[in-house]
Structure 1
Amino acid sequence: MKHILFILLFFTVSLHAAPVNILIITVDDMSADSVGAFDCKLPGTTPNIDRLAGQSLSFAHAHMTVGNCMPGRNVMFSGLISHNNKVEGFYQVRNPGWPHLVDLMKEAGYFTGIRGKASHSTPYQPYAWDINLDTLPDGAGAHSKDAQSYGTSTAHGIAKAKAAGKPFCLSVNVSDPHKPFWSVVKGDGKDPHVPSRIFTAGEVPIPGFLFDDPKVREELALYYSSVRRADDCVGEILKALDASGEASNTVVMFLSDHGMPLPFAKTQLYHHSTHTPWIVRWPGVTRDGAVDGKHMISAVDMLPTLLDIVGVKHPARLDGRSFLSLIRGNTQTGRDYIFKEYNENAGASRDPMRAVQNKRYLYIFNPWSNGNRVFATATTVTATYRRLVSLAKQDKR
């Protein structure tokens, strides 16, 4: 009799348990190896993200499927590779023919909100988020580089969800370290959004795909200082979640949309173009400080995973595959390689690429190349690119 009563009590509690909340945190243009928990060689870049990793499951072999922003974010929220979701560049796609994360979560009774990258996270704009958190509670517009405002936006979104009597699904997207980087001087004065730590040219590590040169070091110092400012933003977001009392019932997903905005990283399909520091915290489910170094996951897997977490039926068509089993500490087969593609960047310059990658090797096919055409990368505006071009002209070999 006691056994039967226990079972009845268990199911009664389960039926009335609060639905789990979802908080997706992204940073913009941050390479995985810029994060301390992902083997950054420069100490102190990401203390808040490292703390989150210590409370979470980190995926050592996680990748975006695209090396630029709007296509990559639409892969995340559609579960479809770019040529299937039709968002191959930076333009509006009306009537895309697939349900977005927002649509599915709202149908499931969730309150949805976004801060940052609203114009890049859906196939067209405006989209039917319940709230755009770029407008602060006082009516002012949030500055994309202001760390404290990210905490304010997060708290506002959670409060609005509570007022609506719904669980929340929030996408909070930090602008840093996307250019413009932090700088001592901005326009006619000083940059008011100062990182909690500033790195110098002499201390920064040089990625293996760049040349060690004073000009390159100067730009990398600004990049890493902007990484630290992004981490400041993440810290404010997590503080707001803690203060809301909802942290214990919230799944946090953290990742970057692609690698650093410097040559041979952003708008490419190299390993460091797409390798992302993907972290998942689900209190009571994930193990503190756990690292999955066996399975490969990619951005196309995000939507089916989130749907499985909240118990929503999958759309009929998906390219991605749920990794909820991995979050629960189990294993999956078929996680030995991932597919990637690139089509175009802002400006509609068409440079299609396709790639397949496993944990050791990467194959890239560049159908755009005819031996003469110059690839229109987004990084040609950087000081590093200009310096590399200058050095190449000086090299007579």
Structure 2
Amino acid sequence: MSADSLGVYGCEMADTSPSIDAFAKTALRFEHAHVLVGNCMPGRNIMWSGLYSHVNGVEGFRENKSPSYPVLCDLAKQAGYFAGIRGKVPHSTPYTPYAWDAVFDNDANGEKHHNKDAASYGKSTADGIRMAEKENKPFCLMVNISDPHKPFYSGPRDPHQPTRTFSADEVPIPGFLFDAPLVREELASYYSSVRRADDCFREIMSALDQSGKADNTFVMFLSDHGMPLPFAKTQLYFHSTHTPLMVRWPGVTRANSVDSTHMVSAIDFVPTLLQVMQHEHPTPEILHGRSFAPLLRGKSQSDRDFVILQYNENAGRNRHPMRGILTRDHLYLFNPWSDGKRKFATATTGTATYRQMVRRAKKESAIAARLELFDHRVLEELYDVQNAPDCMVNLIDSPAMQNTVESLRNQLTTSLARMDDSVAVVLQSHPDAAIRDAFMAKEDELTRVSQRKRKSPPTKPAKQK
């Protein structure tokens, strides 16, 4: 879900998120919060390990059967919490099944909850709180709402109706897309699904309120990536990673407050939550992020002015490595796979919007140019996200921007080298096509090996210590 699909983050259409907007009035809202990749399994594993994908071993949708590090589930349990999860279970840890105290995807009779059923999220939350109370433990619940992930709301016959639906003629068109009847219809289904996600959130918070524990519960709300449409999901553009991060920590955060200064990201979640739980990481030196708990207490932090972005592969295990650095003003992207021939593989090519883009590109040059960029990219991209966050004009060749390009390129190279990311060497020699080709030959071999392994019999995961 894109941040600007919510009212509190500036949605142009009213009533997409009344419950989330109401929560924002009780919480601290971050204006410059970002996830680090635009697809769910690698993104979530960055969040809950505190490690970038090339280190945590979950670069796409391949499991890491033998992780050498703990994730939030382990850390919460070590801190004495009851750790439970609802939804996105296979995507939230390095492998599945994992050692959660409980998984709340089923009801009391063992029947699987439908992931689009709003009421079931309240039931799962209540079940988790009750089970933790029975074990005399505080709870750490990860409740992952499916919407607005596809499949979207499907219309009047959908058994899981949102409390409000939206029509094609009233939806806003994101600046990175284009206006067309089929695009509007898909967006209407998307925004109706956003409202259904809001209904789910309402049920979760209602269950917390009814438990009597709301005044003693830390609540963090975010989205794992942008809307599942072209130029948002499975990308590193501004609307791919901008997340509506809001935190309510009773007695600590100030209600209806906004941090519009500091840049925070998903890599910082684990160290922050460890401070909230008053627990130490067993090997804190391996973490790539740092706690922003001081910001929750109303303090300031230095060196909060950029975020490093990373993409490696999609669900089909096709590798198209991309790296980026985002500041409050600019986004620089490096795409070493782009050679004018390789075609980007992503789930959003299955959307009606992408198919419409392909059809219209045959007659409309502007859309043809967008399709060419989507499919083949260019080696480097630079965007003015302060003034034009839709990332429609690539400034990489602008004479006036060359100092900015060089500065961001160097900063990204240094950051990647510091965490032993192999792309650092390629970026440092970015004009050298031979180095890029050699790098991508290794990436292609990883794809072939991975796709062969995908067809092999599964192995048992190692036991987590």
Name the one with the larger strand percent.
1
**Alignment partner, residue 287 of structure 2:** 318
Shift in Å, 1:83: 1.0
**Residue deviations 1:148-192, cap 9 Å, x none?**
00000000000000000000000000000000000126xxxx210
Counterparts of 1:296-315 in structure 2 under 5 Å? 296-315=263-282
What is the letter of the counterpart of residue 110 of structure 1? Y
Query: Structure 1 residue 129 and structure 2 residue 96: aligned?
Result: no
- 2:238 aligned with 1:267: no
**Shift of residue 250 of structure 1?**
0.3
Distance 1:129 1:294 in 2: 36
Structure 2: which 5+ runs fail to align?
A: 367-465
Residue type at the aligned position of 1:219: E
3-state secondary structure, aligned to 1:276:
coil
Q: Please name the residue that 1:71 is paired with.
A: 42
Q: What's the counterpart of residue 3 of structure 1?
A: none
The reply to whether residue 372 of structure 1 matches residue 341 of structure 2 is: yes
Equivalent of 2:248, from 263, 281, 285?
281
Moved over 4 A (4+): none
Hey, what's the Cα distance between the residues in 2 that align with 1:43 and 1:215?
Answer: 22
Match of 2:138 among 167, 173, 188: 167
Question: Which fold has the larger relative contact order, with Cα–Cα distance below 8 Å and residues 6 or more apart in sequence?
Answer: 1
Partner residue in 2 for 1:384: 353
In 2, Cα distance between equivalents of 1:178 and 1:103: 27
Aligned positions of 1:30-179 closer than 5 A: 30-179=1-150
Structure 1 unmatched runs, 5+: 1-29
Q: CA offsets per residue over residues 336-360 of structure 1, 9 Å max, x none?
A: 0000000011010101000000011
- Root-mean-square deviation (CA, aligned residues, Å) is 0.9
CA shift at 1:237, angstroms? 0.2
Cα separation, 2, equivalents of 1:62 and 1:315: 26
Q: In 1, distance between residues paired with 2:280 and 2:15?
A: 42
Which residue does the alignment assign to 1:354? 323
Instruction: Name the count of aligned residue pairs.
Output: 364
Deviates more, 1:312-321 or 1:55-64: 312-321
**Amino acid in structure 2 at the alignment position of 1:226:** S
Q: Which residue of 2 aligns with 1:180?
A: 151
Q: Describe how 1:186-225 pairs up with structure 2 within 5 A.
A: 190-225=157-192
CA distance in 1, matches of 2:289, 2:92: 17
Distance across 2 between alignment mates of 1:273 and 1:167: 34
Which has a greater percent of helix?
A: 2
Given that 2:75 and 2:281 are in contact with CA atoms closer than 8 Å, whether structure 1 keeps it comes out as no
Give the secondary structure class of the aligned counterpart of 1:176.
coil
C-alpha deviation, 1:104, in angstroms: 1.1
TM-score of the pair, normalised by structure 1: 0.91
Give the alignment partner of residue 210 of structure 2, picking from 243, 247, 254: 243
Task: Indicate which of 199, 216, 219 corresponds to 1:252.
Answer: 219
Q: Distance in 1 between matches of 2:5 and 2:364?
A: 30
CA distance in 2, matches of 1:290, 1:396: 45
Secondary structure of 1:295's counterpart equals coil
Deviation of 1:214 after TM superposition, in Å, equals 1.2
Structure 2: how far apart are the matches of 1:111 and 1:64? 26
Distance in 2 between residues matched to 1:213 and 1:289, nearest whole Å: 37
Give the secondary-structure state (helix, strand or coil) at the position aligned to 1:390.
helix
Give the 3-state SS of the residue equivalent to 1:256 in structure 2. coil
200, 215, 230: which one aligns with 2:197: 230
Q: Which amino acid aligns with 2:204?
A: I
- SS of 2:32's equivalent in the other structure is strand
